[in-house]
Amino acid sequence: EAAGAIPGIKVDLGAKSLANFPGEMITEGLDGLLERLNDYRRLGARFAKWRAVIGVGSDRGIPTDYAIETNAQALARYAALCQNADLVPIVEPEVLMDGDHDLERCGEVTERVLKTVFMRLYEARIFLEGMLLKPNMFVAGQKHPKRASPEEVARSTVRALKNCVPAAIPGVAFLSGGQSDIEATANLNAINRLGGPWALTFSYGRALQTAALKTWSGMPSNVLDAQAAFTHRAHMNALATQGQWTEMEERAAP
């Protein structure tokens, strides 16, 4: 806390197979969640996170409306329980990059997901000013032969957010979702150059940690270099949240 860090905790119990819907997932963990949240609040947590996983199939049958609806309901119930426990919910509906779908197909599915999620949040009486959204960017599947440019990603992502996400939401923290380090930074930078009514920032896992972990490789002698690699990656993403990242800044890596 002295360094300005606010503690939080992931509270879902992971994505499991959705009964009767092969290839689709539902996130579990609602049973007993309020009691757990109250305990986490007493222990110092101030926010929580719940991840819903939405896959994109090779045909247009996946995701089904049922998979989207059940995951949206779970996100809304989780968010309501968080706010009852005086915790800020991070609502994470992730449309996966797995597959061979193009950017347009990702956008179509993500818009369906976001519109359903916010309908359920509204029905659950969520205080929108007291939550954060953690969505995927609009990117093609990893097996698609064409990678969209940062400008294409930004235009599609920001347009859809303006169509689907209320301005009352204070912040949108994008997940990296399998993008490379630099791809995730470049796309975030392009998104912030377009901007919107929300703070547009990052909540990266792999795209923030990969360089540091590779540099470290479990060797005590590499710790300082790994710390420098992590600091550089974090700084690049901080610049991207202001639309000020450049390839020249990137090349100034330690």
Q: Which residues are catalytic?
A: 92, 134
Euclidean distance between CA atoms 65 and 68, whole angstroms:
5
Q: Are 101 and 140 in contact (CB under 8 A)?
A: yes
Q: Are 27 and 74 in contact (CB under 8 A)?
A: yes
Nearest 5°: the CA angle 228, 231, 234 is: 150
SS3 per residue for the chain: CCCCCCCEEECCCCEEECCCCCCCEEECCCCCHHHHHHHHHHCCCCEEEEEEEECCCCCCCCCCHHHHHHHHHHHHHHHHHHHHCCCEEEEEEEECCCCCCCHHHHHHHHHHHHHHHHHHHHHCCCCHHHCEECCCCCCCCCCCCCCCCHHHHHHHHHHHHHHHCCCCCCEEEECCCCCCHHHHHHHHHHHHHHCCCCEEEECCCHHHHHHHHHHHCCCHHHHHHHHHHHHHHHHHHHHHCCCCCCHHHHHCCC
